[in-house]
Amino acid sequence: MSSAIGVVSGYLGAFTRNDPDSIAAYVSEGFRNEHLSELGSSCVGRLEYRRRLPHFLAAFADRRYSIVDAVDQTRDSCTEVAVRYRFEATYEGQQIEIPGVMWFSVRDGLITKRIDTWDSLTFLRQTGQHD
CATH number at residue 32: 3.10.450.50
| Residue 1 pLDDT class (50, 70, 90 cuts) | low
Report whether 85 contacts 102 (CB < 8 A). yes
Q: Is residue 40 assigned to a domain?
A: yes
Q: Is residue 131 assigned to a domain?
A: no
Domains of the chain: total: 1
Structural domain boundaries enclosing 110: 3-126
Q: Is residue 82 assigned to a domain?
A: yes
Per-residue model confidence as pLDDT tens digits over 30-65? 999 999 888 788 999 999 999 999 999 999 999 999
Residues 6+ apart with CB under 8 A from 38: 120
Report whether 87 contacts 32 (CB < 8 A). no
Q: Is residue 25 assigned to a domain?
A: yes
Report whether 82 contacts 70 (CB < 8 A). yes
> Which pLDDT score, from 0 to 100, does residue 131 have?
76
